[in-house]
Amino acid sequence: MGYEEVLIILLTELAEALLYGCLLGGAYAVIGIGMSLILGVMDVMNIAHGEFILLGSYLAYSLLTTFGIDPLLSLVILAPTFFVLGFLLQRFGLSKPLKYSVDIFVMATLAISTILENLYLLIWSPLQKALVTNYMLWSLKLGEFSVAFVFVLDFFISIAVLVFLREFLRKTYLGMAIRASSEDWRMAQLMGINTDNVRALTFGLGLLTAGIAGVLIGLTYPFSPSIGKAYLVIAFGVVVLGGLGSMLGTFVGGVILGLVQVLTAVFFDPAWQLFASYLVIFVLLALRPKGVLGR
Amino acid sequence: MRITKQPLKGKNLVILSPLIVVIIVLFLIPWLGLGEYLITFLILYFIFLTMTEMWNFLAGYCGFFSLGQGAFVGLAGYMLGVLTDFGWSPYIAILISGVIATIFAAVVSKPLFRIKGVYFAVGTLALTEMVRIFFTSWRPSWASPVTWGGAGIPIKATAYISRVEVYYLALILALLSIFSLKIVLNSKLGLNVMAICDDESTALSCGIPTYRYKLYAFILYAFFVGLAGATFYLYQGYIEPTGGFGVSWTLIPLMATIIGGLRSIDGPIAGALIVTILYLQLVRYLGLSLILQGIIVLIFVFVAPKGLKSIFEIIRKHFYLRSSRLLT
């Protein structure tokens, strides 16, 4: 092979990796956005976020295998279910530890995450599961490359979720109440906003995005009960890299992690892809603690 | 919180004497012939106690809510396995394992201290995941006897070290950790660290070099947790990444702390005892064990967030306080 041919192959691989990285980054942004919302309004992180994402994957899996409902269709059922679950969980459960202290809240969500992970082990076995659909192996031709359809699907649904959330937070009364509470919840309370409900609403929205992310990631990669922690770390990375309170930042954070992961998988070793993205989180944390876009 | 120095006078000696008796009894236990089970129980208890004391120190007094205990435990365990594999004495190997955990803490303190509160908690969790993936994936051909990837490595020293030796190691470790915490909390380091925990920017403006003192506290934590982890794996005899860097290493001190109460030195002594009993009772249920541990943490979070102290408060409210409430 001549020098030029090798270069062309390398460049094609690089372009493909960059494309896949960006597409995956969209899905990662949805993993992170729920955590970012909860963090912005309540100043806490939900340690069980990864397990809730996994719950989305597993529920979609069960709906697919027992009732034959397509994962994309199951989004219509799962998204409201997750919202109601999150709302009730925060309103009648986690609001008490949150009032007590942040540490206690973290303890509570860590306990929930451990309980959920081991419940998944009991219910769905430790074996890897995947959402098998007939469009799983489709690919789209984009000029020279062909792109897996699920990645494109992930990307566009993610963009839709991000844009929807952004508009919801900007335009609606509830969205404005959420933003007001994230700026100063005491003042928001004085303005007549029921902050307890706003928090529950935010937690519900966070879980809603977790459910959507679970279905999307479940369509893309196989999943097993222990992978929830990896989702949590990715969500943390997206929040840390993107900074708080901006959809664009979240998106950029997701894309950085997606790119690092795909580039490592293509050019180094797939076994190290998660390690590389974690390493990037810590290196960027040391260099730019306020996020890549932050000042 | 203020801790006043009390000189060792006659009155304090009276308070201290039961403590001295307890320590002497603990040192004599292997020779009283009370059975293997008690020794095993106490080994686990002392290891968990050390971890809980240190975790409580970091979370309660320094304000670093660490969920990454597993990173230090696992690293120390692996170091012990590797060094004893090379034929080192397990005692020196344990010490070096602690030092390795300390060095690791110093290295990761740079990015970790940039983040606070709940960010720190999840950051340490991410760090543990990172180290776990490293030890699962790292399988170079030149070091295949050292790490077997996800399969883990046996710790050879366990074969030739007796249970009693491990018992003494764990006992000395637990006593050392408690006494060093008592000393540290009364020292300049402890006071500075508590000041930083209460308000970092005020502490900084008072001239306390915050980064350095946080680092000292973190190093102390990592050293003792590393020692405790190495001692545990000397007892266990086998280490693999999922268990070694697992979240259960965080759950144990967390549970003991929430039972015993945050920000206290005596609380963990009771908390770790209950956790050890639970651990040994639940150990045969595998997956269910962690579910039950999680449920216990949840119950304490909702019913008694101050631990046993708030249970006493609830009891007192029901039996004694009713009359006093009528008076006010």
Report the gap between the CA of A288 and the closest CA in chain B (Å). 9
* Across B37-58, average pLDDT: 94
pLDDT confidence tier of residue B328, bands split at 50, 70 and 90: very low
Mean pLDDT over each residue of chain B, to the nearest integer:
86
- The pLDDT score that the predictor gives to residue A49 is 95
pLDDT digits (tens, 9 = 90+) for A14-38: 888 899 999 999 999 999 999 999 9
Query: Is it the case that residue A1 has pLDDT exceeding 70?
Result: no
* Across B198-207, average pLDDT: 90
* Contact at CB, A106 and B294, closer than 8 angstroms: no
* Contact at CB, B305 and A39, closer than 8 angstroms: no
Of A266-275, B66-75, B91-100, the poorest mean pLDDT is in A266-275
* Across B129-147, average pLDDT: 74
Asked if residue A9 belongs to a domain, the reply is no
pLDDT digits (tens, 9 = 90+) for A132-145: 888 888 888 877 77
Residues 31-60 of A with CB under 8 A from B: 39, 43-45, 47
* Contact at CB, A44 and B118, closer than 8 angstroms: yes
* Across B59-82, average pLDDT: 91
Q: Does B133 touch chain A (CB under 8 A)?
A: yes
pLDDT confidence tier of residue B114, bands split at 50, 70 and 90: confident
Query: Is it the case that residue B25 has pLDDT exceeding 50?
Result: yes
* Contact at CB, B258 and A229, closer than 8 angstroms: no
* Across B84-92, average pLDDT: 87
Residue of A nearest to B254 (CA): A107
- Cβ contacts of residue A165 below 8 Å, gap of 6+? A33, A37, A205, A209, A247
**CA–CA separation, B18 and A292 (whole Å):** 58
- The pLDDT score that the predictor gives to residue B324 is 55
If one counts the domains in chain A, the total is 1
- The pLDDT score that the predictor gives to residue A217 is 93
* Contact at CB, B121 and A104, closer than 8 angstroms: no
Query: Is it the case that residue B1 has pLDDT exceeding 70?
Result: no
* Across A218-222, average pLDDT: 91
Query: Is it the case that residue B139 has pLDDT exceeding 90?
Result: no
The ipTM is 0.91
- The pLDDT score that the predictor gives to residue B187 is 92
pLDDT digits (tens, 9 = 90+) for A30-82: 999 999 999 988 889 999 999 999 999 999 999 999 998 999 999 999 999 99
DSSP secondary structure code for residue A129 in this structure: B
Report the gap between the CA of A47 and the closest CA in chain B (Å). 7
Residues 108-127 of A with CB under 8 A from B: 108, 110-115, 117-119, 121-122
Residue of B nearest to A278 (CA): B130
Q: Cβ contacts (< 8 Å) between A96 and chain B: which residues? A: 302
Q: Does A11 touch chain B (CB under 8 A)?
A: no
Query: Is it the case that residue B10 has pLDDT exceeding 70?
Result: no
Closest by Cβ to B287, choosing from A45, A121, A233: A121
pLDDT digits (tens, 9 = 90+) for B244-302: 898 889 999 999 998 888 888 888 999 999 999 998 988 888 778 889 989 999 999 89
**CATH no. for residue A142?**
1.10.3470
- The pLDDT score that the predictor gives to residue B146 is 58
Query: Is it the case that residue A157 has pLDDT exceeding 50?
Result: yes
What pTM value is reported for the model? 0.90
How many contacts does A have with B, using Cβ atoms within 8 A?
129
* Contact at CB, A102 and B137, closer than 8 angstroms: no
Q: Cβ contacts (< 8 Å) between B59 and chain A: which residues? A: 103
Query: Is it the case that residue B321 has pLDDT exceeding 60?
Result: no
HEC string of chain B equals: CCCCCCCCCHHHHHHHHHHHHHHHHHHHHHHCCCCHHHHHHHHHHHHHHHHHHHHHHHHHHCCCCCCCHHHHHHHHHHHHHHHHHCCCCHHHHHHHHHHHHHHHHHHHHHHHCCCCHHHHHHHHHHHHHHHHHHHHHCCCHHHCCCCCHHHCEECCHHHHCCHHHHHHHHHHHHHHHHHHHHHHHHCHHHHHHHHHHHCHHHHHHCCCCHHHHHHHHHHHHHHHHHHHHHHHHHHHCEECHHHHCCCHHHHHHHHHHHHHCCCCCCHHHHHHHHHHHHHHHHHHHCHHHHHHHHHHHHHHHHHCCCCHHHHHHHHHHHHCHHHHHHHC
Asked if residue A124 belongs to a domain, the reply is yes
Domain span at residue A147 reads 21-287
Residue of B nearest to A105 (CA): B301
* Across B312-320, average pLDDT: 76
pLDDT digits (tens, 9 = 90+) for B28-44: 888 888 888 999 999 99
